[in-house]
Amino acid sequence: MSETMNLMPPLTQLTEDEQMLRDAASDFAESSIKPKVHEMDEAAKLDEGLIKEFFEMGLMGIEIPEKYQGGGGTFMMSIVAIEQISRVDASVGVFMDVQNTLVNNAFLNWGSEAVKEKFLPLLATEKVGAYCLSEAGSGSDAFALKCSAKEDGDAYILNGTKLWITNANEADIFLVFANVNPEAGYKGITAFIVERGMEGFSISKKENKLGIRASSTCELLLEDVRVPKENVLGEVGKGYKVAIETLNEGRIGIGAQMIGIAQASLDASLSYTKERKQFGKSIADFQGVQFQLARMATELEMARLLVYNAARMKENGQPFLKEAAMAKYYSSEVAENLSSMAIDLFGGYGYVKEYPVEKYFRDSKIGKIYEGTSNMQLQTIAKIILKES
C-alpha cells in the first residue's frame, strides 16, 4: 500500500478542509437557497441572484487550481458540497454538479494550457458551463450521435441538435461533442468548446419536467456554427475518451445529489413523526414507524459509503469505474425509496406541495435516468465482476 493511500482518511471521515466546505455549503443552502426552493420549483427557473452567490462562494470552481482563480480543492470537496446543496434543493445541486464534475473536470483533464488559461478562470468566477452529449438517437448509445463537424480552414463547422442539456439557459460555455469523421464511428467524435453568441448557435425548447424543475434542460441547435480549431478540447477524434472519463466522475456527483435527497427525506421523516400525534402519542413511538425509519437510515448510510468510497478511489488514482457505477445505481434506488417512504409517513400531507417530501420524490426519479441509466450501470458492474472472476 502506498504512502498516499495510508494518508487517506476513512470513507466517512472528512478532512478539516472537506468538513469546512461541507459546513459552508450547508449554511449557504439553508440561508440562501431554502427560502427560494418552492418559488423556483413553481417557476421552473433558477434564481439569478443565487447563481452569482454560487460563484462568490467559490462553489463553481472547487477543483480548479488557484492559479486559474479556482478554489484549489479536491474531488471529495466537490462531492460533499453537492450533497449538502442537494439536501435542500436537488435542482440547484445538479446546477453546481455539472459545472464541477463534468465541465471543469473535462477542461482540467483534457485542456491544453492555452485552453485552461482562457476558460478555467471564467468557469471559476463568472461563467456557467454545460455538457452537451445527448441527442434524440443517442442516449444510452451515446456514441451514435449525429452532430457533425467539418474542417474548414482554421475552424470546424458544426451542425446538429443536442437534447436534454442541463444548465443550457444559464451557460455561456458549452462542451459539444460532434463527429468529424462519421465513417470512423466513435473514433471520429471530438469535443468542441462552443461559446454563447457564436453565429448559428441557439438555445431552443426548454423541457417542462417532473422534477429538478428549477434546473434548465434544453434543446440546442447548431446551424453552421464556426468553431475555431483552438476550441477543440483534447485531440481530434478523442472525444469519446473525454466523454467516458468525464462521465465516470460525473456519476459520483449524481450519487452525491441522490444521497442529499435521501438525507432530506430522512430528516423530514424524523421531524414529522416526532410531531405528528395519533391515538394519543407521537407516531414515532409506534414500532412499525420506527422500523421504517431504521430502514431509511440504514439504506442512506450504505449509499453514502458507496459514494464516498468511489470519490476516495478517484482522488487516490485508483480504478473506480465499477465503484462509480455502484454508487450511482444504488444511491438513485435509495433516494427514490426514501422519498417514497417519507410520503407514506407523512400520509395525506406528504402528497401536497405545502410539505417538502413530494418534491423529494419528484426530484429523485431522474437519478435512475441521467448520466447513465440504472440498466447501463448494472451492465457496467456485471462486465467488470465477470472479468474479475
Q: Write out the catalytic residue numbers.
A: 371
Alpha helices in the chain (DSSP H): 3-7, 16-28, 37-43, 48-56, 75-88, 90-97, 105-110, 113-125, 239-275, 287-315, 321-346, 357-364, 374-388
Here the contacts of 374-378 (C-beta below 8 Å, separation 24 or greater) are 374/329, 374/332, 374/333, 375/140, 376/140, 377/251, 377/325, 377/326, 377/328, 377/329, 378/325, 378/329
Nearest to 94 by CA among 255, 311, 219: 255
Sign of CA dihedral 363, 89, 105, 175: positive
Mapped onto helix, strand or coil, the DSSP state of residue 280 is: coil
Nearest to 39 by CA among 106, 77, 99, 92: 92
- For residue 208, the tally of other CB atoms under 10 A from its CB is 8
Here the contacts of 146-150 (C-beta below 8 Å, separation 24 or greater) are 146/179, 147/176, 147/177, 147/178, 147/179, 147/222, 148/178, 148/179, 148/180, 148/182, 149/178, 149/179, 149/180, 149/190, 149/192, 149/227, 150/180
Helix axes 239-275, 287-315, angle to 10 degrees: 150
Report the distance separating Cα 340 and Cα 361, nearest Å. Answer: 6
